[in-house]
Amino acid sequence: MGDELGAIAQRAVDAALAAGAGDAEAYVQDSLGREIRVFDGEVESLTEAGERGVGVRCWIDHRAGYAYGTELSEEGLGRIGQDAVETARIADADEFAAAPLGDGAGAPAIPGLHDPSLAGWTTERKIELAKRIERAAREADDRVVAVETAVYVDEEQRVAIASSTGLAGAFEATSAYAYTQAIAEARDDKQTGLGFGMGRSPEGLDSEEIGREAAERAATLLGARKPSSRTCPVVLDPTVAASFVGFIGGTLCADTVQRGRSLFAGRLGEVVASPALTVTDHATDPAGLNSSPFDAEGTPRGQTPLIEAGELVAYLHDSYTARRQQAQGAAGARTTANASRAGYRSPPSVSTSNLIIAPGSKSFEELLAEAGDGVYVTDVAGLHSGVNPVSGTFSVGATGRLIEGGRLAAPADEFTIASDLQSMLKTITAVASEARWVPFGGSISAPALLLGEMAVGGS
């Protein structure tokens, strides 16, 4: 199968060259996915579909163009090649724009990336898994009155790339995840809670645990009130910590840095965070859903430490940003193999792969004790609209629990936490010892974090 996709990629490259490209690169993706949604013990929807397409980048005298399509016939590829060439002619010349010189064929395979056990699961078994999640959420707590939807999703994906510079590579991967949202009600209050799990196949999904987490998160919030407005210590649970660190990962991508849109621009080697914080981009960890043997340009992947004990040690690069960095005098700057793409419809851009926040040495209880009186945040809303990526200032909606005398106390909702990313990183005073993978807003392994102080907006 990899051979067949590889041949399509090669034909797409040839088509672009024939249309007048100086260099060309093609990315072919073929995936088969299923989504099962269960509500009230019944299947609400069952979707099964394959998707196959090609994206072609080309370069003409340092002008870059991009086109994609789903018609993979000789004629279809010919048109995509022509479109790519036409777009390149509209672009302005950019001295750093050129075909990357990666060699993905040399990248070692990642064991476990493709889990064959997925193929052994029948649709009926997957439906049963989703139903069990829903049941588990209902049974975990009497106050759970409904479960919004239990969703199971999996995908088998094959990717091949080829280029006029001699690159040829292919890999396959599987993924599976599930989530549900429980609704708990008591007296006049209604609250929702999310539970989720992820893995390379349904074998890795614990239905009981996903349901239980959703129920517990919803029920715990019942009777929540607004905390009073104040400045106080804040503990972020792993899902919230992951959201923030995922956002920071975006600001460490070299394209935003080079274009002066990152608050971390020009600060390599500086202490930008508390010594408690170490963050690494880890592209070949089989547990991370964004892992692959080589990046979207064919460069073999690896690990890149970003923040080491508070010090900013690297930005993430693709071949374009590395070339540009070198020209600006950073000798030896090279791609960190962080060219990523959402699929064949969008061209590659620099992005994090899997981010790993190094766990600390304290238990969650010790974090609470250290906070003393403050707020434990279990969920934030509005991160995409409430954070200014350039200035770093943010204000987001939050729910969670009060911390009183070093212990979890009454539930709290309808409040905001606000600060700027820079101050937030510096006020991290402790990192919990247990981390979990969070698939939202990236693929991130995060522990709970204690922030020394933050503005809480409530009543």
> Where in 105-124 is the site for another protein (CB under 8 A)?
123
* 341-360 residues near another protein, rule: CB under 8 A: 345-347
* 360-399 residues near another protein, rule: CB under 8 A: 381-382, 384-388, 390-391, 393-397, 399
Strand partners, 75: none
Name the 3-class secondary structure at 23. strand
Q: Given the rule CB under 8 A, which of 48-56, 114-122, 352-360, 439-447 is the region that contacts another protein?
A: 48-56
The 8-class DSSP code of residue 343 comes to S
- Residue of 7, 47, 223, 334 that binds another protein (CB under 8 A): 47
To the nearest whole angstrom, how small is the minimum distance from the Cβ of residue 332 to another protein?
Answer: 24
DSSP secondary structure of 359-418: P-SB-HHHHHHHH-SEEEEEEEE-HHHHB-TTT-EEEEEEEEEEEETTEEEEEEEEEEEE
Alpha helices for 111-265 (secondary structure H): 123-140, 207-220, 238-251, 254-258
The 8-class DSSP code of residue 110 comes to P
Q: Given the rule CB under 8 A, which of 7-15, 35-43, 241-249, 330-338 is the region that contacts another protein?
A: 35-43
Cβ-based nearer residue to another protein, 76 or 310? 76
- Residue of 4, 71, 142, 373 that binds another protein (CB under 8 A): 71
One symbol per residue from 272 to 301: x for binding another protein (CB under 8 A), - otherwise; what is it?
A: ------------------------------
Q: Given the rule CB under 8 A, which of 103-111, 363-371, 411-419, 444-452 is the region that contacts another protein?
A: 411-419
77 lies in the site for another protein, by CB under 8 A? no
Q: What angle do CA 158, 117, 33 make, to 5 degrees?
A: 45
To the nearest whole angstrom, how small is the minimum distance from the Cβ of residue 259 to another protein?
Answer: 6
415 lies in the site for another protein, by CB under 8 A? yes
8 lies in the site for another protein, by CB under 8 A? no
- Residue of 84, 210, 241, 431 that binds another protein (CB under 8 A): 84
Name the 3-class secondary structure at 290. coil
Nearest to 168 by CA among 106, 80, 81: 106
- Residue of 418, 429, 433, 436 that binds another protein (CB under 8 A): 418
- Binding-site size for another protein (CB under 8 A) equals 81
45 lies in the site for another protein, by CB under 8 A? yes
456 lies in the site for another protein, by CB under 8 A? yes
- Whole-angstrom distance, CA of residue 260 vs CA of residue 264: 9
Cβ-based nearer residue to another protein, 52 or 407? 52
Cβ-based nearer residue to another protein, 38 or 205? 38
To the nearest whole angstrom, how small is the minimum distance from the Cβ of residue 43 to another protein?
Answer: 5
Name the 3-class secondary structure at 189. strand
- Residue of 65, 78, 202, 227 that binds another protein (CB under 8 A): 65
128 lies in the site for another protein, by CB under 8 A? no
Which residue bears the tokens 């809303």? 381
* 87-106 residues near another protein, rule: CB under 8 A: 87-88, 90-92, 94, 97
Chain Cα centroid distance, residue 220: 27
Buried b (16+ CB within 10 A) or exposed e, 61-97: eebbbbbbbeebeeeebbebbbbbbebbeeeeeeebb
What backbone torsions phi and psi does residue 124 show, to the nearest 5 degrees?
-60, -40
To the nearest whole angstrom, how small is the minimum distance from the Cβ of residue 284 to another protein?
Answer: 27
Query: What is the C-alpha radius of gyration for the chain, rounded to an integer number of angstroms?
Result: 24
**How do 279-282 and 407-420 pair as beta strands?**
unpaired
- Whole-angstrom distance, CA of residue 95 vs CA of residue 138: 60
* 213-272 residues near another protein, rule: CB under 8 A: 226, 229-231, 259-261, 263
* 135-194 residues near another protein, rule: CB under 8 A: 145-146, 148-149, 181, 183, 190-192
- Whole-angstrom distance, CA of residue 337 vs CA of residue 158: 19
Which residue bears the tokens 């892992």? 291
Cβ-based nearer residue to another protein, 230 or 407? 230
To the nearest whole angstrom, how small is the minimum distance from the Cβ of residue 4 to another protein?
Answer: 16
To the nearest whole angstrom, how small is the minimum distance from the Cβ of residue 350 to another protein?
Answer: 13
Helix (H) or strand (E) run with residue 146 in it: strand 144-163
